[in-house]
Chain A
Amino acid sequence: MKGVMPAPADAFLELVRSHGPRLLRLASGYARAEDRRDLVQQMWLAIWRALPGFRGDAALSTWAYRIAINTAVSHVRKDVRRREQAAASAPEPVAPGGRDERAILEEFLEALGPVDRAAMALYLEGLAASDIGAVLGATEGAVAVRLSRIKALFKQRYLGSER
């Protein structure tokens, strides 16, 4: 993205087209349905306000993910009580059979801490470990270790230890 930068409005519209559904999914990992719209709007507002300062040091996509994740993590911190309640009601290990896979995934995300949740959400969006590292400020190796730990946790909780 170095070089010619389109006018902020054009770049913003392009980002909404390419990342709109992604940010909505990302927000679903950090906010309940009733707050999701608000969180997504906060993400877009932060992106719009930061856009004039975009220097092209990272890909526009990585840059947008950074803002979205930072906004999402801030959103989580504003609502400590809700997270504590969510943690207190962390689900018992269950088998996935008969349950909506998407619901299981959302439940699993909610039980993770904000940083693990960010890494997992970006993994779910299909980002490579190096790209996740560029968003979080971690090395590729550190991201791989984190994802491996999250994977073990998921298996233990939902798939049973044999898999």
Chain B
Amino acid sequence: MTFEDLPSVWQSDRERAPDPEAVLAAAVEQSRALEKTVRGRDRLETVASLAMVPLFAASAAMTTSTVARTGAVILTVACLVIPLRLRAARLLFDANGRDGELRAFLRSERERVAAQARLLRTVLWWYLLPLGVGVVMLFGGGAQSWPLSLGYAAFVTVFYAWLYRLNQRAVAEHLKPRLVELDSLLSGL
């Protein structure tokens, strides 16, 4: 066997030809299921956020505490802005078509992973801090006892610190290695 014989060895392996109608039916069904999942995810995210907006807006209108009102306003704005930010990011993440040359695909994949890593690295500023500060101010401003407010603030801080850590770990353990791998593939092309 020589290197030049390999294509005939390879092509002599007569894999059973798939049934075109069955492949089409499976592709159509999977495509519909995928679109349904994406639509459902977007709808759930939007409804959940919009449902919270009137609650926080009402809290801002009704409370007599300036601190609580400020917290409620922060939360109202956050509930409007965060889903938009997530949706914009997801549009970029989902947009990577596979019909380009491998080099173009890998570049676009790298951009996508880098954007995802940026989003998680900055999660403190656009997600955790507004929500964390908002809930602490809303609860603390309306609470009668300062030890309770302090305890709640401590709990929120610890919980959000844990969320922050999870996000950074995801960057370090999943996204960074993928970036290194994509760089290696691109440099090898």
Contact = CB atoms under 8 A, between A and B. Distances in A.
Interface stretch (B7-15, B137-145, B162-170): B7-15
A42 B96 CA distance: 15
Given A53-B97, A67-B98, A124-B6, A21 B103 contact: no
Interface stretch (B68-76, B121-129, B149-157, B177-185): B177-185
Nearest to B182: A77
B99 A50 contact: yes
Given A48-B24, A50-B98, A20 B7 contact: no
Contact of A67 (B2, B15, B99): B99
B20 A16 contact: yes
Interface string A13-32: 10011001100110010000
Given A53-B99, A73-B102, A136-B101, A126 B26 contact: no
A69 B21 CA distance: 23
Contacts of B23: 16, 20, 41, 44
Interface string A97-119: 00001101100000001111010
A70 interface: yes
In which size bucket is the chain B interface?
Answer: 35 or more
Given A105-B6, A114-B185, A25 B11 contact: yes
B148 interface: no
A134 interface: yes
A70 B7 contact: no
B27 A44 contact: yes
A137 B98 contact: no
A125 B103 contact: no
B171 to A, nearest CB: 16
Contacts of A20: 17-18, 20, 23
A155 interface: yes
B31 interface: yes
B3 A54 contact: no
21 contacts: A12-B20, A20-B18, A20-B20, A21-B14, A24-B18, A41-B27, A41-B30, A44-B27, A45-B27, A48-B31, A66-B105, A67-B99, A69-B102, A80-B181, A104-B1, A105-B9, A105-B10, A115-B185, A123-B6, A123-B7, A136-B189
A66 B27 contact: no
Interface string B50-71: 0000000000000000000000
A80 B178 CA distance: 10
B147 interface: no
Contacts of B24: 9, 12-13, 16, 48
Given A20-B17, A105-B6, A105-B9, A77 B181 contact: yes
A129 interface: no
Contacts of B28: 48
B9 A71 contact: no
A53 B14 CA distance: 31
Given A45-B31, A53-B97, A114-B185, A137 B6 contact: no
